[in-house]
Amino acid sequence: SQQGEEDPQALSIQEGENATMNCSYKTSINNLQWYRQNSGRGLVHLILIRSNEREKHSGRLRVTLDTSKKSSSLLITASRAADTASYFCATDTGTASKLTFGTGTRLQVTL
């Protein structure tokens, strides 16, 4: 069954604005990962946050994790047209390296 649900399903912003997408999940996790998928391509890993971490940064990306609410958010600051893609959260519950992916947020950044 699906572990993560993402919100919003689609997001359209202008270049330079910040984009925030949220992920909720159902069971306890070891870590939560965010991936990006450009149209017609495979997924690319962006950032991993462990269950004992609350916030993590990587360049223009900021991820937060609230295990009490079983939710995570991904913030992309100063967005660029090249950030246009679908973004997926994926949870690792510790079962045989299995990742369970969310439904994805489609981000459109316009000039």
> Should residue 54 be labelled a site residue for other proteins when binding is judged by CB under 8 A?
no
Do you know the residue count of the chain?
A: 111
Q: How far is the CB of 44 from other proteins (least distance, A)?
A: 7
Q: Would residue 96 be called left, alpha or beta, if left means φ above 0 and alpha means ψ between -120 and 50 degrees?
A: left
Q: How far apart are CA 56 and CA 65, in angstroms?
A: 9
- Judge contact between 25 and 91, C-beta under 8 A: yes
Site residues (CB under 8 A) for other proteins, limited to 75-94: 86, 88, 92, 94
Is residue 30 involved in binding other proteins (CB under 8 A)? yes
Q: Which two tokens stand for residue 90?
A: 């994926």
The residues facing 31 across adjacent strands are 50, 92
Residue number, 73 or 104, with CB nearest to other proteins:
104
Q: Out of 76, 99, 107, 109, which residue is the one contacting other proteins (CB under 8 A)? A: 99
**Contacts to other proteins by CB under 8 A:** 2, 30-31, 33, 35, 37, 40-45, 48, 50, 86, 88, 92, 94-101, 103-104, 106
